[in-house]
Each structure stands twice: as C-alpha cells, then as structure tokens.
Amino acid sequence: MFPPVKTLLRLLACVSCGLIPIIAMADTPTWIGNASNAFAFDLYAKLATADNGNLFFSPNSIQTALAMTWAGARGDTSAQMATVLHLPAGSNTVNKDFGDFLKLLNAPVNADGKPRGYLLSVANALWGQSGYAFLPPFLKLLKTDYGAGLHEVDFKSDSEGARQEINAWVAKETVDKIQNLIGPGALTSKTRLVLTNAIYFKGTWQDPFEKQSTHDETFHLSATSQIQVPTMYRAGNYGYTENSNYQALQLPYAGGDLAMVILLPRAVDGLPQLEKALTPQAMADVLEGIHDQEVHVSIPKFKMTAEFELAPVLESMGMRDAFGTGADFSGMTGNRDFSISAVIHKAFVEVNEQGTEAAAATGVEMAMAMAMPEQPVDFVADHPFLFIIRDERSGAILFMGRLANPNPT
C-alpha cells in the first residue's frame, strides 16, 4: 500500500498485442534519442544493483510519464526533474518535441508510406478528481503534445471505483497483458491526479526462427549452475561485432524500423562487469562496430514480467523535491498542493521464434571492436546477457533488460 498523499503518479510500461488509435508521422528531434538513452542507462545502473535476477523495463515509458509531470513542475522541482530526465536546458519546445516523437512511434506507416510490419503504440491519459481546478493551459498542453486527455473520476468518495476504471484502461491498452496495475488501497480520498503511460510493441523477426529447430539446450545460470531451456537456432546474415569481452548481435524486426541488440559477455559470469561499464557512448561504440556477417545464432526462448516502485530510485538520481513537501507542481493547478507519492512501472516481455511481444534491452561500454572474422561465427547465448530494443530512426532505446534465467521459478 502506498502512503495517502495529495497526488499519485502511476507509470505503466508494457508490450502487448493490441493497437490504439494512431496519428500521423512527424520528424523526431535529434536530442530525444540521446536524452532517452542517457536516462535509460542511468536508471539501469540503479536497478541492476538492486537485484541480480531478470530485469526488464521501458525507459521510454517512464521518461514519457515523467515528462508529462515535469510539464506541470516549476522552480527547483522542474530543474531537478529536467536534469534526471536529461532534458535540454533552455529549450521551450521539449513538450512539442516529445509529441513529435510519440507521433513517430504511433505512425501506421514508415518513411516510404508503406505499412510498418510491426505493432507499436503509446497511450497516455490523465485521471483527475472530478470538479478539481486543473489549469486549462496544463490540460491543453498534455492533450496537444502527449495525446493525454483528462478522465474525471471521484477519488474522494469512490477511490476503489477510480482504481478499477484506471486498471480497466490499462488492461484495454495492453490487451490484458497488464492486470491490476494499481493495487487495492493504493488510491485514497486524498489522491487528486494519476498520470498513466502504456507502451505496446509486438514485432516479428525479419528472419523468423523455425520451430523445428528449437531444442532443449544448456543455459549456464552461473559458473557452477545450469538448466535445460528451449533454445532457438538459425544461421543467417546478421549485424555482428565482437571483442575479447563480448559478442554483440543485432536482430532486426520486420519493417526495419526496430531491432533487438543482444550483448553477450564472453565469460559465463561476465555480466556484472559489462553492467558496470554501461554508458550511452559505450552502446554507440557497439552499434558503430556492427557489420553484416554470417552468424549461427542460438538464443533461448523466454518470458518475464517485472514491477518496480521507482520513487526511491528517482529520488536518489536527483529528483529530491518532487516526492516531498517541497514539491512545486503549481503549473498544474496554480498552487503548490501536489507532490508525487509513487511511481509504479510494470512490464511484460516474451521472445520466441516469431518475434517479440513486449521487450526491453541494455547497453555497455566496451573496448574497440576487433576486425570482423571472415568465417561464419557462432553466437550462443547460453549464459546471462543484456538486451535492448531500439528505434533505429531516432536511436532511442524503447525497452531494456537482462536475462539471467530463462526459466525462473
């Protein structure tokens, strides 16, 4: 249960199998990808140290929901949030730029005007206390730039009804992949505003794996522990690079706009070392070194869910005022009567022969790539690895994760 404070912020990240209304394509500002990835690696560094098991989240979903909140922040609260989110200093087009990026993600066609070949959608919504005096400019900004309309609910006298209505919206936007995001008792009569973001992705591989080629193979959980897991196999031409510490493989999705990148440490227990070196520049260096290469690919099928309460993490990253009595969200109501009580992030991912339904990934700082081998190489993901799913057009990481165990109990 979360504390009964004046305002409650909720975030959702999910990849599912439904499609929400879409809007026209727009150009994406170049800073968006850099800011998204910098925030992604900052957050990954915090989450990775808390648990050594499976990890999955959508930095894009979290950043978008927080950006909507930042739009109503003022003073030190605004400055701290902008720093954590890596928003460009002095820019007066941040919200519009986010809106253009969301239009790109939601566009039904690619740059050539052809159907994309994958499903990707982002939905935002505001849930405000019925009759509460939210400032019209704030509501207009979120509606215009983020597509987030205001749904009036009655937290004061029917917080349980409001919870069910919000959860129903979440379930609808994620085709029931995310159920009961907000638990019983989380909303109270003092809740005044809930902001939600749902991101959905379902893509088929550009070159699908054949089901008959999937067999149980050994996956090393550690240097001393192993299990048998269904492992997919395919030989083909893929983006590939390597050095003495890792192998990197790029698996494109149909349509060519999105791709998964897997970073596989050479050593069975080499994942922690890779995580410590994680930076946006490191990921950029990896991607720059990728070239087409014939690769024999073996990767496990896997499915995972994850849920985080991110308020303590974001506070430790520098958002100090937003969660306390010093919060200034006067851009929402004209008064300093709001603070954030909780930031909930929940996500789902499944990777199989056809492609990916809900996915996230990661990056790491590495030494310069070695010369590309002339002969076909083996990429055998039989121990813990990092993975990202990125938008190739903007360079932004949409999902980020770590597979430590394909078959957790």
Least Cα distance to 265 among 359, 366, 389 occurs for 366
pLDDT in tens, 244-279: 899 999 999 988 888 999 999 999 999 999 998 888
User: What is the pLDDT confidence band of residue 29, given thresholds at 50, 70 and 90?
Assistant: low
The token pair at 312 is 């303590």
The pLDDT score that the predictor gives to residue 202 is 87
Torsion angles phi and psi, residue 338, rounded to 5: -120, 150
Q: Say how far apart CA 403 and CA 56 lie, in whole Å.
A: 8
Sketch out the chain's domains with CATH numbers.
30-203+304-349 (3.30.497.10), 206-300+355-403 (2.30.39.10)
Q: How many angstroms from the chain centroid is the CA of residue 54?
A: 15
Most confident by average pLDDT, 172-176, 224-228, 375-379: 224-228
Residue percentage of the chain with pLDDT more than 90? 46
pLDDT tens per residue, range 189-228: 888 888 788 888 888 999 999 999 999 999 999 999 999 9
Are the CB atoms for 311 and 340 separated by under 8 Å? Answer: yes
**How far apart are alpha carbons 401 and 389 in whole angstroms?**
9
**Top-confidence residue, 54 or 15:** 54
39: Cα separation from own chain's centroid: 11
Residues present in the chain in total: 409
> Would you tell me how many other CB atoms lie within 10 Å of the CB of residue 25?
18
- Is a pLDDT exceeding 60 seen at residue 8? no
Distance between CA atoms of residues 301 and 135, nearest Å: 48
Averaged over 38-55, what is the pLDDT?
Answer: 91
Q: What pLDDT shows up at residue 286?
A: 92
pTM, two decimals, is: 0.86
pLDDT tens-digit readout, 82-110: 999 999 987 889 999 999 998 888 888 77
